[in-house]
Amino acid sequence: MEVHDMTRKAYMIGTGVGNLAAAIYLIRDGGFNGDQITMMGLEDHGANDGAAVKDYEKEYGNQALSNSKGFLAKGGRMLNEETFENLWDVLRSVPSLDHPGQTVTDDILNFDHAHPTHDVGRLIDSDGPRVKPNKDNYRHMQFDNKDRYLLSKLMLMPEKDEEKLNNISIAEWFASSPHFFTTNFWYMWQTTFAFKRASSAVELRRYMNRMILEFSRINTLEGVTRSPYNQFESIILPMRKYLEDRGVTFINNRKVTDLEFKDTPLQDDIIVTGLKYEEVDNDNKEGHIDVAENDLVFDTNGSITDSSSLGDFNTPFKENMDYAPSAALWKKASEKFYSLGNPDKFFGDRTQSEWVSFTVTTNSHFLVNEISRITQQEPGNALNTWINSTPLLSIVVHHQPHFKAQKPNESTFWGYFMYPRRNGDYVQKPVMEMTGKEMLEELLGHLAEVDPSKDNIKNHTQEIMDSIVNVIPVYLPYASAMFNQRAVGDRPDVVPKNSKNLAFISQFCEQPFDMVFTEQYSFRAAQRAVYTLLNIPLSEMTPMHHYEKDPKVMARATKTMFR
């Protein structure tokens, strides 16, 4: 490691979990003082959000809500104890905000071990949860031999040959076996990890290798590690507190609009010399930061919650057509250097990536108790998917409370539609046009259809509606953009070739083996960025597990293929 220069500065563009992790690596492993680090973002949470609805009013000031009560989490992020090596390592350095003497890793793993996930209502069809002891029981993967052959061929493809999958979708890979898309495996896999048929076959290959330990228990989701509260409160806030206590400067509502580069012969070297920005809460006042050649710049080159839009119980959202702001900065840089990837592959086709989610807040536990009765599982036991739902509806009822500010009588849960341009089955309009109330009505219709009780849930519709504090629908145009079809080179390296002081940390940079749509990917990119720019040997990076090389794990996976 090079001798640290105490005058050196680090500028973090974006305040999501990746840059928070990079700042911790700079301090913990790189010898930086906190006052050498400045973090700039449009808000204080990145994609790991979760708060009272009123706390979003400043962020979404242009979208006046008639009802700002209740809680909101735009999305859910699953953790995994066995494969999130970088995340657990970093969070072992971050003190718990709730339990003095413990770390955030202690907080999460202790909670998870006390409340282990065991999903018993993972898939639901017109007969209810697929738990009957027959061929439809979701313990059975339902593969035929062609499915097994194609999935095995994909998984066993050497990493060096990934370019053979350039711009190939999952639908194209399985074109000769459409049966694959009717299996329990596909219904579970796509809604657990957010794949679509249009998603990249490369990413499915990476997931099958990296998450092969979970393949044999995908039906119960026992490998899902849950945090005590939403991840903003359980992960982001402790990380911010750790950094603030060490003198790191946080500047919210600052949008970096352009990177300035040094003119070099043939544009061979990438050296950031300045940052242009706007203060979005101060009449878009423009500013400039001079960046010395020895300073470091870490850019979040793409966020999956960019350009999202909100509605409320009585108001549908209005689709935000803006190109993702974080990717717009990346795009400007990619137009100046040939080695910085192709952001349009991920942010130019919303049909591959869009979702709609909704967060329900109630002032009683009646609805959550009814969901538990119908799905046959307690809150906190992961995911329920209605496989006959035209827009493919799933819900997650978290362990309660999911927000620290929840009152004892309040419940919250979250759901999402993977195909929001399709009509609902009980509300005859596209999900994109629904109010929060109508999304709840769509869910209640599916619950009533499979309710075996004589006192069907539909008999309690008014009681449920009277209990609603709010239902917040959110349009997420880029929710699974990292899975879009891509080719080798479309994602820039974490530290691009010939870059002297610029690194990318996000779900849209390139790393070997690891899988996107995980905090692990962002944490590992942060370590790779810091170690590369500070000349710390990459051999000292946190070791990763390779369960795909474990004979016992592979034997279980093979058995599961035929289950």
CB 236 within 8 A of CB 253: no
User: What was the pLDDT predicted at 46?
Assistant: 76
Whether residue 454 is found in the same domain as residue 389 = yes
Among residues 424, 441, 476, the one where a domain terminates is: 476
CA distances from 252 to 43, 201, 281, 386, 550 (A): 5, 37, 9, 39, 45
Whether 366 and 442 share a structural domain? yes
- 415 within a domain of the structure (yes/no): yes
Over residues 284-298, mean pLDDT: 96
Query: Are residue 218 and residue 171 in the same domain, yes or no?
Result: yes
Are residues 190 and 220 part of one domain?
yes
Report yes or no on 130 lying in a domain.
Answer: no
Residue 358 sits in the same domain as residue 433: yes
183 — pLDDT class (breaks 50, 70, 90) = very high
Lookup: tokens for 548: 């795909």
- Residue 292: alpha-carbon gap to chain centroid: 34
Structure tokens at 22: 């990079």
Q: What is the pTM of this model?
A: 0.96
Count of structural domains, the chain: 3
- Give the chain's radius of gyration (CA, Å): 23
DSSP 27: H
Question: Is the per-residue pLDDT at 62 higher than 60?
Answer: no
Same domain, 239 and 383: no
Q: Within 13 A of 155's CA, how many CA atoms are on the CB side?
A: 20
pLDDT band at 264 (very low <50, low <70, confident <90, very high): confident
Residue 317 in any domain: the answer is: no
Last residue of a domain, one of 437, 456, 476: 476
10-19 pLDDT, tens digit each: 999 999 999 9
Q: Determine the pLDDT at residue 1.
A: 45
The answer to whether position 126 is within a domain reads no
Q: What is the mean pLDDT of the chain?
A: 94
Q: Which two tokens stand for residue 512?
A: 């070997």
Q: Active-site residues: which are they?
A: 207
Residues 255 and 331 in one domain: yes
111, pLDDT greater than 50 = yes
Are residues 182 and 103 part of one domain? no
> In this structure, are strands 249-252 and 254-261 parallel, antiparallel, or unpaired?
unpaired
Of 193, 189, 186, the residue nearest 77 (C-alpha): 193
In a domain, 553, yes or no: yes
Which residue reads 């290959």 in tokens? 205
Question: Is the predicted pLDDT of residue 446 greater than 60, yes or no?
Answer: yes
Residues 367, 464 contacting (CB under 8 angstroms):
yes
Is the same domain home to 328 and 433? Answer: no
Across 349-370, average pLDDT:
97
Question: Which of 132-136, 215-219, 443-447, 534-538 is predicted least confidently?
Answer: 132-136
pLDDT reading at 249 higher than 70:
yes
Structural domain harbouring 404: 115-119+351-476
Long-range contacts of 91-97 (CB under 8 A, 24+ apart): 91/235, 91/238, 91/239, 93/24, 93/28, 93/242, 94/24, 94/238, 94/239, 94/242, 95/238, 95/241, 95/242, 96/238, 97/237, 97/238, 97/241
Q: How far is it, in rounded angstroms, from Cα 21 to Cα 18?
A: 5
CATH code of 373's domain: 3.30.9.80
State pLDDT tens for residues 189-206: 999 999 999 999 999 999
Domain match, 337 and 362 both: no
Q: Which residues contact 160 (CB under 8 A, 6 or more apart)?
A: none
128: in domain: no
How many angstroms separate the CA atoms of 88 and 309, rounded?
32
Nearest to 79 by CA among 211, 225, 200: 225
**Secondary structure class of 336 (helix, strand, coil):** coil
Q: Pull the structure tokens for residue 319.
A: 């689709």
Q: Please report where in the chains the tokens 């057509």 appear, as a residue.
A: 321
Question: What pLDDT does 57 receive?
Answer: 77
Within a domain: 3? no
Q: Identify the domain boundary among 476, 495, 517.
A: 476
The pLDDT-based confidence of 48 (bands split at 50, 70, 90) is: confident
Q: Quick one: DSSP state of residue 200?
A: B
pLDDT surpasses 90 at 175: yes
Same domain, 534 and 550: no
pLDDT tens column, 137-169: 888 999 999 999 999 999 999 999 999 999 999
Residue range 57-86: mean pLDDT, rounded:
85
Residue 5 lies in a domain: no
- CA dist 473 and 316 (Å) reads 7
In a shared domain, residues 399 and 491: no
The mean per-residue pLDDT over the stretch 233-260 comes to: 97
